[in-house]
């Protein structure tokens, strides 16, 4: 990554951090959980959909440079490489594979991201195994990924 790209990325992180400190905390209702990685945000909202729409409207009026979109999923949602599922009052996490499919010109061969990721994991070092272990809430989910 070049110097300019690093500076832009750092500026984005600082801008988003200041924006959140100034605006998220001033809204009358606060999310149960709020996590951001660069420009991706995971939020667990425990109020109604009308209040969520108000929160989105409020956040979109705070700056002309940032516009929020919402993907509202009731039971589970992907966030980066993690799938977050709500079971009762508990958040369960598992490794998430992005559903990418590639088809060759003859239409016969398909390569999914899961297959590509699995091949990469087979030769992974300790840090990759540790990452998957950290993401998966249950041992059964961890074992399902056949890393050990």
pLDDT tens, position by position, 54-79: 999 999 999 888 888 888 777 888 88
How buried is residue 84: exposed, middle or buried, by Cβ count under 10 Å (0-12/13-18/19+)? Answer: buried
Question: Token pair of 29, please?
Answer: 């209702």
Whole-model pTM above 0.85? no
Q: DSSP of the chain, one letter per residue?
A: --HHHHHHHHHHHHHHHHHHHHHGGGSSS--SEEEEETTEEEEE--S-HHHHHHHHHHHHHS-SS--------SSEEEETTEEEEEETTEEEEEE-----EEE-TTS--EEEHHHHHHHHHHT--HHHHHHHHHH-SSHHHHHHTT--
Could you state, in order of their start, the residue ranges of all structural domains in the chain?
3-72, 82-144
Question: Token pair of 72, please?
Answer: 């509202």
Q: How many residues does the chain have?
A: 148
pLDDT tens, position by position, 67-117: 888 887 778 888 888 898 888 878 889 988 877 655 555 555 444 445 545
Sign of CA dihedral 126, 127, 132, 134: positive
Q: Is the pLDDT of residue 15 over 50?
A: yes
- What gap in Å lies between CA 3 and CA 116, rounded to an integer? 31
């Amino acid at each position: 990554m070049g110097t300019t790209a690093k500076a832009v990325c750092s500026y984005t992180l600082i801008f988003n951090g200041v924006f959140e400190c100034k605006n998220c905390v001033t809204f009358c209702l606060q999310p149960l959980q709020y996590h951001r990685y660069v420009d991706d945000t995971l939020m667990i909202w425990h109020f109604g959909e009308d209040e969520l729409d108000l929160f989105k409207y409020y956040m979109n009026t705070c700056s002309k440079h940032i516009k929020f979109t919402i993907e509202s999923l009731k039971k589970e949602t992907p966030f980066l490489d993690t799938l977050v599922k709500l079971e009762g009052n508990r958040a369960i996490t598992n490794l998430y594979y992005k559903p990418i499919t590639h088809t060759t010109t003859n239409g016969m061969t398909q390569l999914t991201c899961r297959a590509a990721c699995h091949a990469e994991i087979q030769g992974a070092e300790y840090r990759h195994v540790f990452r998957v272990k950290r993401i998966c809430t249950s041992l059964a989910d961890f074992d399902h990924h056949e890393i050990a």
